[in-house]
């Protein structure tokens, strides 16, 4: 047996169902626990039938109508972005903003941490998930990483730095215009800190990185591993933290700022495949977070990890996919088994 334990338990719910003429029926519930944090994700034998209710199918004509409506006056678009967006002090960035290819980085006007930047392509006001093609994604990710290096040097008190995304309104975006965010400060969010602490405890106990052990175990089992290049391993999360969660794990790199050009390029390549698959499945909104370990202290226990989750499809009557289970009890629903996700995406990662 490997060092990683994939815990699951099975429960049964019994009741007289009006859908079956009030006959006694039983439904099986499976509870999975994340091997690192212990967070739970729940699947039931009938839950897949409710996925359409929770996530729906994107109404693309409606989405494009909203994009057209918000185009005029958008302050991320080329006509206004240099005129109305904030600038950093010179000691952070020469000129106040970072320009890299098609991408521009500048301060968030409403920051939620000491360091909170926007990464956007001004020329692109609206994108379907498949529009995040590898070249554009690589430019955006590379700009975020480059800015993170400037930030780490300019703000010596930072404890954490992440590159994150809310794409489209159901994922929490306040604007249609696609953008990423670099997020960091002296106080790490509780879940990130929990992951660090558990990963450090795992290495202390076993003498190896949790993330390397996870990659080794998942690659051996083959149920959820999908392949990868440049050190990345792509996995369907065993106990997902959101809809159709996919992970990319890079053992041997402990911090976002340590990514090299090849690793950024291959991350973009893989992420583009996942986002295109979301769109083929009728989905449009998503979140991702690209996180590493703490910016000080030993690095051996940590890795750079990407997590991407689908959110409710964008349509006139979209509903949230979060409720008490996720927001207050710390659980998640599994509509599509991680093993099914891996089976669907594995051919994509095997292709050139």
Rounded to whole angstroms, the Cα distance separating 186 from 193 reads: 12
Q: How far is CA 52 from CA 17, 58, 152, 187, 265, in A?
A: 21, 11, 43, 38, 34
Query: In 3D, which of 301, 266, 303, 272 has the Cα closest to residue 288?
Result: 272
Rounded to whole angstroms, the Cα distance separating 341 from 245 reads: 9
Which pair of tokens denotes residue 152?
């780490």
pLDDT, position 1 = 57
pLDDT, position 319 = 86
pTM listed for this prediction: 0.96
Where are the domains positioned within the chain? Answer: 54-320+335-350
- In tens digits, the chain (352 residues) has pLDDT values of 589 999 999 999 999 999 899 999 999 999 999 999 999 999 998 887 788 888 999 999 999 999 999 999 999 999 999 999 999 999 999 999 999 999 999 999 999 999 999 999 999 999 999 999 999 999 999 999 999 999 999 998 999 999 999 999 999 999 999 999 999 999 999 999 999 999 999 999 999 999 999 999 999 999 999 999 999 999 999 999 999 999 999 999 999 999 999 999 999 999 999 999 999 999 999 999 999 999 998 899 999 999 999 999 999 988 888 888 888 888 999 999 999 999 999 999 985 4
CB neighbour list of residue 326: distance below 8 Å, 6 or more residues apart: 332, 333
Rounded to whole angstroms, the Cα distance separating 159 from 120 reads: 24
Which pair of tokens denotes residue 291?
């996180």
Phi-psi region of 96 (alpha: psi -120 to 50; beta: other; left: phi over 0): left
Three-class SS of the chain = CCCCCCCEEEEEEEEEEHHHCCEEEEEEEEEEECCCCCCEEEEECCHHHHHHHHHCCCCHHHHHHHHHHHHCCCCCCCCCHHHHCCCCCCCCCCCCCEEECCEEEEECCCCCCCEEEEEECCCCCCCCHHHCCHHHHHHHHHHHHHHHHHHHHHCCCCCEEEEEEEECHHHCCCCCCCEEEEEEECCCCHHHHHHHHHHHHHHHHHCCCHHHHHHHHHHHHCCCEEECCCCCEEEECCCCCCEEEEEEEEECCCCHHHCCHHHHHHHHHHHHHHHHHHHHCCCCCEEEEEECCCCCCCCCCCEEEEEEEECCCCCCCCCCCCCHHHHCCCEEECCCCHHHHHHHHHHHHHCC
Strand bridging mode 286-291 / 233-236? unpaired
CATH of 54-320+335-350, one of 1.20.1250.20, 3.30.428.10, 3.40.1010.20, 2.60.40.420: 3.30.428.10
Which pair of tokens denotes residue 137?
């994604």
Long-range contacts of 293-298 (CB under 8 A, 24+ apart): 293/196, 293/199, 293/254, 293/255, 294/159, 294/160, 294/188, 294/196, 295/152, 295/158, 295/159, 295/160, 295/161, 295/255, 296/159, 298/200
Query: In 3D, which of 310, 189, 190, 165 has the Cα closest to residue 242?
Result: 310
CB neighbour list of residue 11: distance below 8 Å, 6 or more residues apart: 28, 29, 30, 31
In sequence order, what are the beta bridge partners of 183? 116, 162
């Amino acid at each position: 047996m490997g060092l990683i334990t994939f815990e699951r338990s099975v429960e049964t719910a019994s009741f007289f169902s009006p859908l079956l003429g009030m006959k006694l029926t039983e439904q099986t519930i499976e509870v999975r626990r994340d091997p690192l944090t212990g967070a739970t994700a729940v699947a039931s034998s009938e839950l897949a039938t409710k996925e359409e209710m929770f996530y729906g199918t994107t109404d693309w004509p409606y989405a494009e109508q909203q994009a057209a409506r918000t185009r005029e006056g958008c302050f991320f678009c080329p006509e206004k972005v240099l005129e109305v967006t904030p600038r950093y002090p010179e000691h952070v960035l020469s000129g106040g903003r970072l320009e890299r290819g098609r991408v521009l980085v500048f301060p968030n006007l409403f920051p939620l941490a000491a360091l909170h930047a926007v990464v956007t392509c001004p020329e692109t006001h609206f994108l379907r998930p498949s529009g995040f093609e590898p070249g554009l994604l690589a430019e955006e990710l590379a700009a975020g990483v480059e800015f993170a290096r400037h930030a780490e040097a300019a703000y010596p008190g930072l404890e954490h730095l992440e590159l994150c995304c809310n794409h489209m309104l159901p994922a929490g975006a306040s604007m249609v215009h696609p953008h990423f965010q670099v997020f960091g400060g002296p106080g790490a969010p509780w879940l990130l800190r929990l992951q660090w602490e558990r990963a450090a405890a795992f290495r202390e106990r076993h003498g190896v990185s949790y993330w390397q052990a996870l990659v080794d175990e998942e690659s051996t089992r083959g149920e959820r591993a999908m392949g990868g290049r440049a050190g990345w391993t792509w996995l369907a999360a065993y106990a997902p933290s959101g809809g159709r969660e996919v992970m990319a794990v890079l053992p041997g790199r402990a911090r976002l700022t340590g990514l090299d050009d090849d690793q950024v390029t291959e991350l973009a390549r893989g992420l583009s495949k996942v986002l295109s698959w979301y769109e083929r499945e009728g989905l449009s909104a998503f979140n991702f977070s690209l996180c590493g370990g703490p910016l000080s202290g030993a690095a051996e226990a940590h890795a750079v990890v990407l997590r991407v989750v689908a959110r409710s499809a964008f349509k006139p009557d979209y509903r949230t996919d979060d409720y008490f289970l996720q927001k207050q009890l710390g659980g998640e629903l599994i509509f599509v088994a991680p093993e099914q996700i891996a089976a669907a995406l594995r051919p994509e990662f095997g292709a050139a």
